[in-house]
Amino acid sequence: MSDAYLAIEGGRVLEARTRAPGTARGELVFTTAYTGYEESLTDPSYEEQVLTFSYPLVGNYGVREERFESERVHPRAAIALELTDDLADWLAEQGVPAIDHVDTRDLVTEIRDEGAMKCGIAAGPDATPEDAREELAECKGMSEHVDIGAQVSVEESYTVEGGGEFDVALIDCGAKGSITSSLVERGADVHVLPYDTTPAEIEELDPDVLFVSNGPGDPANFEAARVLVEEFVGEIPVAGICLGQQIVARALGGETEKMTFGHRGVNQPVRDLRSGKVVMTTQNHGYTVAEPGDLEVTQINVNDDTPEGLESDELGVITRQYHPEANPGPHDSLDFFDDVLGMARTQAASPSAD
């Protein structure tokens, strides 16, 4: 017997089984990842979204905190064909509604055909289809959250020490923990800073690298980070991942646009235009760079030719649309972090360096 309902744009209401009770609304998206459900559910880039898992069984290896990418679950709700008790119980403890017994193959196909759409969920013994429709109506009436960074960024800065060879200013627009650990493992001290950090604060810190993180939503909503890139590009090396690539591109004359259903999964093929090499990558984004501005496109997505890597040797900029630090993988592109610190090393050795 169904006790949960999913209402989606277009008018359909799907029946489901409650695994964690509650109501939710948000943008309905999917991930094709076979593993890494803990990492996906704690990825800040999923803030204000409802996450559908295309893989049929989710939760089969339990829930372990050491695999989390942040301190909490970020999707508004989770949908699967089948959720294990361990995962369902954890989501219930987190206050995040979860439903299963949904034909996710059909749902993912609809998202691919129609694009990411808004939805409403009602789950629990007293839930009705009308409750789900009301959540959808509320969601459709909401404007996009222009200050979403406040929900995912740190409120106060902190430093993770990694040996002190370089100081990296990581602008936290919803950063995954793996970004920090990847830099720390390479000897950098990482200063994690709020998304609205000012140029004066960066000047006081005097970092060797300005690094703009991943995060949720439209890059146009992260104006403070764009200003930082404009202010310091050409003076110190600049790097970015995912949303960070989009923010950097916008700061350097580029344009971004919303994708039909985005790239979310661990099997996105990326071709390096210089070497011709193709690597598999993990991705999670609904926007992309439409025009690169002053940057050169160095990598593209094999499936749709969208920019996956932007660079400028002259300006000292390197960005990636995918997640080189992906956990649980693939790790084909971890050398990105070596390249980022390599820019700092080169600048430090330059005769013109202070």
* Token couple for 345: 């090393």
Structure tokens at 318: 């390197």
pLDDT band, very low/low/confident/very high, at 352 (cuts 50, 70, 90): low
pLDDT of residue 235: 97
Average pLDDT of the chain? 95
- Residue 202 burial by CB count (10 A; 0-12/13-18/19+): exposed, middle or buried? buried
pLDDT of residue 326: 86
pTM for the structure as a whole: 0.95
Catalytic residues: 242, 323, 325
215 is in an annotated binding site: yes
pLDDT digits (tens, 9 = 90+) for 28-80: 999 999 999 999 999 999 999 999 999 999 999 999 999 999 999 999 999 99
Confidence class of residue 350 from pLDDT cuts 50, 70 and 90? confident
Give domain 149-349's CATH architecture: 3-Layer(aba) Sandwich (3.40)
Parallel/antiparallel/unpaired status of strands 77-79 and 117-123 = unpaired
**286 assigned ligand-binding residue:** yes
Which of residues 109 and 350 earns the better pLDDT score? 109
pLDDT class of 136 with cuts at 50, 70, 90: very high
Alpha-carbon gap, residue 183 to 274, rounded angstroms: 25
pLDDT at 226 over 60: yes
Q: Specify the CATH number of the domain 4-140.
A: 3.50.30.20
Q: Say how far apart CA 101 and CA 59 lie, in whole Å.
A: 14
Annotated ligand binding at 45? The verdict is yes
Answer whether residue 353 shows pLDDT above 60. no
149-349 shares the fold of 4-140 = no
What is each CA distance from 244 to 33, 58, 91, 220, in whole angstroms? Answer: 22, 29, 29, 11
The tens digit of pLDDT for each residue in 266-317 reads 999 999 999 999 999 999 999 999 999 999 999 999 999 999 999 999 999 9
Residue 246 marked in a binding site: yes
For the chain, give every domain's residue range. Answer: 4-140, 149-349
Q: 284: annotated binding-site residue?
A: yes
